[in-house]
Amino acid sequence: MARKKTSKSNEVLNWKPVIVDFDGQGDFNDLVGFEELDCYELVKDCKGGTVIVGKDKPASAKPKVKKKEKSENGSNKKFVERMSSVSENSTENHKEMKKKCLKRKLDGTVVTETKKKTENSNDTEDVDLVNLQDTDMSAWSNLFVPNSVLKALKAMDFTSPTPIQALSLPSAIRDHRDIIGAAETGSGKTLAFGIPLVHHILEEKDRIKSNQTEFNKDLPTRPLWALVLTPTRELAIQVKKHLEAIMRFTDLKVTVVVGGMAPQKQQRLLRKCPEIVVATPGRLWELIEEVCGEPHLSQVSNIKYIVIDEADRMVEKGHFLELKQLLQLLNRNEEVRKKRQTFIFSATLTMVHGLPQRLLLNKKKFKLTQKEKLELLMSELGTRDKPKIIDLSRRVGTVETLTEACINCTLKEKDLYLYYFLLMYPGRTVVFCNSIDCVRRLKNVLDLLACSPLPLHASMHQRQRLKNLDKFTASERGLLLATDIAARGLDIPGVEHVLHYQVPRTAEIYVHRSGRTARAHREGLSLMLVEPQEIMFYRKLCKTLNRDEILPVFPVDHAVLTMVRERVNLAKQLDVLEHRHRHRVAQNNWIKKVTGEMDLDLEDEEDNFLHNMQDPNEQSGDVKQIKVLKRSLLAMLKKPIVRRGTGGSYPTKSGRLVSPYVQTQTKAVIVVQGDVAENKQFKPVGRRKKLCRKNVGKVRH
User: Is the pLDDT assigned to residue 604 strictly greater than 60?
Assistant: no
* pLDDT at residue number 1: 43
The gap between the terminal CA atoms of the chain, to the nearest Å, is 91
Q: Which of 161-165, 218-222, 544-548, 566-570 has the lowest mean pLDDT?
A: 218-222
Whole-number Cα distances in Å, 587 to 196, 578, 593, 611, 614? 58, 14, 10, 8, 10
Q: Which residues touch 666 (CB under 8 Å, ≥6 apart)?
A: none
DSSP 39-97: S-EEEE-TTS-EEEE--SS----EEEEEE-PPPTTSHHHHHHHHHHHHHHHHHHHHHHH
pTM equals 0.75
Mean pLDDT over 272-294 rounds to: 88
pLDDT in tens, 135-161: 788 999 999 999 999 999 999 999 999
**What average pLDDT does the structure give for the chain?**
79
Strands 388-391 and 497-500, sheet pairing:
unpaired
The CB density around residue 262, as the number of other CB atoms within 10 Å, is 9
Asked if 313 and 346 count as a contact pair (C-beta separation under 8 A), the reply is: yes
* Banded model confidence at residue 92, pLDDT cuts 50, 70, 90: low
In DSSP terms, which residues pair with 388 in a beta bridge? 179
DSSP 395-424: TTSS-TTEEEEEEE--STTHHHHHHHHHHH
* pLDDT at residue number 671: 87
Highest average pLDDT, of 93-97, 234-238, 602-606, comes from 234-238
Mean pLDDT over 73-102 rounds to: 48
Asked if 275 and 253 count as a contact pair (C-beta separation under 8 A), the reply is: yes
* pLDDT at residue number 12: 58
Q: In whole angstroms, what is the distance from residue 387 CA to residue 177 CA?
A: 6
Q: Which residue has the higher pLDDT, 68 or 311?
A: 311
Q: Which residues touch 198 (CB under 8 Å, ≥6 apart)?
A: 146, 148, 149, 243, 246, 247, 250, 252
* pLDDT at residue number 607: 52
User: Is the pLDDT assigned to residue 112 strictly greater than 50?
Assistant: no
User: Is the pLDDT assigned to residue 293 strictly greater than 90?
Assistant: no
* pLDDT at residue number 28: 56
User: Minimal CA–CA distance to 224: which of 327, 325, 294?
Assistant: 294
Q: Which of 91-105, 124-138, 452-466, 555-569 has the lowest mean pLDDT?
A: 91-105
The CB density around residue 286, as the number of other CB atoms within 10 Å, is 14
Residue length, the chain? 701
The CB density around residue 663, as the number of other CB atoms within 10 Å, is 11
Rg (C-alpha) for the chain, rounded Å, is: 33
* 3-state SS, residue 572: helix
* pLDDT at residue number 615: 60
* pLDDT at residue number 643: 58
**Nearest 10 degrees: Cα torsion 442, 408, 492, 425:** 90
Mean pLDDT over 377-393 rounds to: 91
User: Is the pLDDT assigned to residue 399 strictly greater than 70?
Assistant: yes
Q: In whole angstroms, what is the distance from residue 478 CA to residue 113 CA?
A: 27
pLDDT in tens, 44-84: 665 556 555 555 544 444 444 444 444 444 445 544 455 45
Q: Which residue has the higher pLDDT, 34 or 701?
A: 34
What is the percentage of the chain residues whose pLDDT exceeds 70? 69
Mean pLDDT over 312-332 rounds to: 88
User: Is the pLDDT assigned to residue 427 strictly greater than 80?
Assistant: yes
Q: In whole angstroms, what is the distance from residue 399 CA to residue 642 CA?
A: 38
In DSSP terms, which residues pair with 454 in a beta bridge? 480
User: Is the pLDDT assigned to residue 307 strictly greater than 50?
Assistant: yes
Asked if 198 and 249 count as a contact pair (C-beta separation under 8 A), the reply is: no
SS3 of the chain: helix, strand, coil, percent, to 5? 45, 15, 45
* pLDDT at residue number 371: 86
pLDDT in tens, 15-49: 777 766 555 445 555 666 777 777 776 666 655 56
Indicate the angle between helix axes 558-598 and 604-611, nearest 10 degrees.
Answer: 130
* pLDDT at residue number 594: 82
Asked if 408 and 685 count as a contact pair (C-beta separation under 8 A), the reply is: yes
User: Is the pLDDT assigned to residue 411 strictly greater than 90?
Assistant: yes
Q: Rounded to the nearest 5°, which phi and psi values hold at 519?
A: -100, 150
Specify the DSSP class assigned to residue 298: G
Asked if 311 and 281 count as a contact pair (C-beta separation under 8 A), the reply is: no
Q: Which residue has the higher pLDDT, 7 or 527?
A: 527
Asked if 341 and 178 count as a contact pair (C-beta separation under 8 A), the reply is: yes
* pLDDT at residue number 72: 43
User: Is the pLDDT assigned to residue 105 strictly greater than 70?
Assistant: no
* pLDDT at residue number 675: 78
* Banded model confidence at residue 351, pLDDT cuts 50, 70, 90: confident
Q: Which residue has the higher pLDDT, 184 or 642?
A: 184
User: Is the pLDDT assigned to residue 365 strictly greater than 90?
Assistant: no
* pLDDT at residue number 113: 40
* Banded model confidence at residue 214, pLDDT cuts 50, 70, 90: very low
Mean pLDDT over 543-551 rounds to: 84
Highest average pLDDT, of 38-42, 104-108, 369-373, 534-538, comes from 534-538
Q: In whole angstroms, what is the distance from residue 515 CA to residue 526 CA?
A: 9
Q: Rounded to the nearest 5°, which phi and psi values hold at 184?
A: -65, 160
* pLDDT at residue number 161: 95
User: Is the pLDDT assigned to residue 620 strictly greater than 80?
Assistant: no
* 3-state SS, residue 416: helix
User: Minimal CA–CA distance to 8: which of 44, 57, 35?
Assistant: 44
Q: Which of 162-166, 347-351, 626-630 has the lowest mean pLDDT?
A: 347-351
* 3-state SS, residue 429: strand
